[in-house]
Structure 1
Amino acid sequence: MRSEITLKFNEIPPADPAPDKKVLVTLSDENGNKFVTLLNAKSYKKACEAAATYPKYAGSISGKLGKLTEDGFEVLEAGIKVFEVKPKEEAKGEAA
């Protein structure tokens, strides 16, 4: 059995440089659980650049749920995605 996990965010999480062209990212959920993952530095940079071009965005980090360590749960083979959040239709009507 394989456990997949998707962590959603609305603010790009900070990252620390790591070996092999990776960055270390730590996220916390509303219950205080911590999740630690290594992301490809190039993918992380592209996500940051995409987020900077959108007025409002949301994103996710997805991967396999690993073991619990002192730093938090590991997220293995993780990837990051950022999406533009479009304004709702009713907000457009009020802006006129």
Structure 2
Amino acid sequence: MIVQLSRDLGAYLYDVFVTRFDLWLLFGLGAQILFAMRFIVQWIASERAGRSVMPVAFWFFSIGGGVMTLVYGLVRREPVIILGQALSLFIYARNLMLVFRERRGRTGR
């Protein structure tokens, strides 16, 4: 049973990552890496500050990765990705607007 499970898993992974490999898969993987960078940026900023912080770069990585992931979802016709990323992009943009409004208020402009 375990041997068969390992063979099935191996066949599945081969199908997903080798048989179906194309430029869109590469694009989607790039989008996922860009999207994941926001967590690395947030983690480093929080460690340096000694508290949880959300740097502006987090929102830019969110938008970049979100747009790329949305394009990937549109091309692949993945409704879960399309709906999730379309909504998320509005949230990321709104957070950037709030950040810039706060900064503008601090500088007196």
The two structures have a TM-score, normalised by structure 1, of: 0.29
Whose helix proportion is higher, 1 or 2?
2
> Which protein is richer in strand relative to its size?
1
Q: Which has the larger radius of gyration?
A: 2
Structure number with greater CO (CA < 8 Å, separation at least 6) is 1
